[in-house]
Amino acid sequence: MGDKRLDGKVIVISGGTKGVGRAVAEEYAHEGANIVIGGRDEAAAHRIIRTIQTYGSNGIFVHTELEDIDDCRKLFDEAVKAFGKIDGFFNYAGITPVSGLETCDVETFDRIMNINFRACFFCCQQAIKYMRENGGGSIVLTGSAHAWGGQKDRAAYACSKGVLLTLMEHIAHNYADEQIRCNYLTLGWTPTEGEVEFRKIQGMSESQLRKKAAGILPMGRMLERADYIEALIYLMSDESSMMTGSTFRITAGEYI
């Protein structure tokens, strides 16, 4: 076994063209993994794949519309077609629109649940199918502090992240005997492309956002993509082979 912690592994990432998904795709490759990127931004994916190849790893892009269950299944089928197996699945894709309990409309609710939960459910279904053939694997679901109640204007989003916590525990309890494990990584307030764009629509610049967050978060600053990398490598590596059903919190002390 080489020094690379993910040497020879095949890891699927939903939402792998932006934010933490993009950052970890490159770091997984740097640690020796082959990467399968599910998303919609083909140009961004191919830029990531070029970087991956400089590390001596390989990657493919699978255009994935998460509201289409056939696309969710195809993401994993294409991974196996390209690399012969699946060792890991990082479910990063998700949306965070304003969705207060008193004002959320049916269309917004359905879109949040379809992308954040339903897509993840069927991606996990397909991941488990192939991991079973390979003798096991690691699934990491992207969580949020909103799962523990959430802010008032994020009711539907909070529910979508709460149900992922249940899904994680369900997989952990029921598939451990097949060496298929699942953990929940609670991400904190991070200036991803989506978050920055959303705040701009509200009339707030990135610097204003960072200043606001620094005043709210107990540890005094927003999370950066790099803050999650070591945890995400650990959760996909053999070092965490006996860890399942756990909730990792990397939130700068934020527990909404």
CA distances from residue 208 to 72, 112, 150, 197 in whole angstroms, order as listed:
37, 27, 22, 13
99, 156 Cβ separation under 8 angstroms: yes
Burial class (CB in 10 A: 0-12, 13-18, 19+), 107: exposed
What pLDDT is attached to residue 62? Answer: 98
DSSP count for the chain of H helices, then E strands: 9, 7
What pLDDT is attached to residue 83? Answer: 98
172 DSSP assignment: H
CA distances from residue 128 to 8, 18, 179, 181, 231 in whole angstroms, order as listed:
19, 25, 10, 10, 22
Q: Indicate the length of the chain as a whole number.
A: 256
Spell out where the chain has E strands. 10-14, 34-39, 59-63, 88-91, 137-144, 180-187, 247-250
Joined tokens for residue 159 = 């529910």
What pLDDT is attached to residue 155? Answer: 97
Between CA 6 and CA 142, with CA 13 as vertex, the angle to 5 degrees is 100
163, 173 Cβ separation under 8 angstroms: no
Provide the b/e sequence for 205-239 (b: ≥16 CB within 10 Å): eeeebbeebeeebeeeebbebebbbebbbebbbee
Beta-carbon contacts of residue 210 (< 8 Å; ≥ 6 apart) = 191, 221, 222
202 DSSP assignment: T
What pLDDT is attached to residue 256? Answer: 62
Per-residue model confidence as pLDDT tens for the chain (256 residues): 458 999 999 999 999 999 999 999 999 999 999 999 999 999 999 999 999 999 999 999 999 999 999 999 999 999 999 999 999 999 999 999 989 999 999 999 999 999 999 999 999 999 999 999 999 999 999 999 999 999 899 999 999 999 999 999 999 999 999 999 999 999 998 888 778 887 888 888 999 989 998 999 999 999 998 999 999 999 999 999 999 999 999 999 987 6
